[in-house]
Amino acid sequence: MFTDARSRRFVLVAHCVLNQNAISDGTADHPGCDAAVVRALVDAGVGIIQMPCPELNCLGLDRGDPDGSKRPVLEENTRIREALGKAAPARILASLVERVAWELEQYRKHGFQCLGVVGIDRSPSCGVETTSMGGREVPGRGVFMQALGDELKRRGLVAEMIGIKASEPEDASKKINSLPGP
């Protein structure tokens, strides 16, 4: 089974790596996608799985406040993080985590290799090494990445998580190339 040309290797990426249109107002670094990251993955011959955007799915494109971009980024990110913790968004977030974990489990079940999970540092939802909290960028994971990591661990699935910043393309490319396989 699956003996055709596919590499059987893939990377899970935060939604906004492939679609900057989903990012919170005032924070996009690219008009469409993070081309440097996408190019590195395409050149490596790996599949790119776009995870759902937890903020869009839980709070809407305006993140529940059309004036959010008028606040400083870290203040707005903190507001978004707090909003994601409310009951209804938290339920949606849990279902998104379940969906991604199930999908990863399916690939693993059939011998495919997940080279890693790429998140966006400083993000209140998809940060890996840093997130936004209390109006500051602090060490730690965003709420989605934390929940995803916990769920993968619960299922016995291991996936290296790295955080990148679209505003730092050289560093992002180095981190992508440090994943096993690319």
State the pLDDT at residue 182: 58
User: Is residue 2 a part of any domain in this protein?
Assistant: no
Residue-number span of the structural domain to which 118 is assigned:
9-178
43 located within any domain: yes
pLDDT digits 0-9 by tens, 54-77 = 999 999 999 999 998 999 999 999
Asked if residue 1 is part of any domain, the answer here is no
Q: Are 124 and 76 in contact (CB under 8 A)?
A: no
User: Which residues, including other chains, have CB under 8 Å from residue 67's CB and lie 6 or more apart?
Assistant: none
Domain count, the chain: 1
d(C-alpha 151, C-alpha 118), whole Å: 16
The reported pLDDT for the residue numbered 95 is 98
Phi and psi (nearest 5°) for 119? -110, 180
Q: What is the mean pLDDT of residues 108-133?
A: 96
The reply to whether 28 falls in a domain is yes
Position 1 pLDDT exceeds 80: no
Please indicate whether residue 169 or residue 96 has the higher confidence score (pLDDT): 96
* 133-160 core/surface letters (b: 16 or more CB in 10 A; e: else): beeebeeebbbbbbbbbebbeeeeeebe
What digits encode the pLDDT tens for the residues 127-182?
999 999 999 999 999 999 999 999 999 999 989 999 999 888 788 888 888 887 75
Residue with tokens 């995803």, as numbered in its chain: 148
- Which residue do the tokens 């490319």 mark? 173
Determine, yes or no, domain membership for 23. Answer: yes
Tell me how far apart the alpha carbons of residues 17 and 92 are, in angstroms, rounded to a whole number: 21
Q: Tell me the per-residue pLDDT of 25-38, one tens digit each, with 9 for 90 and over.
A: 888 888 899 898 99
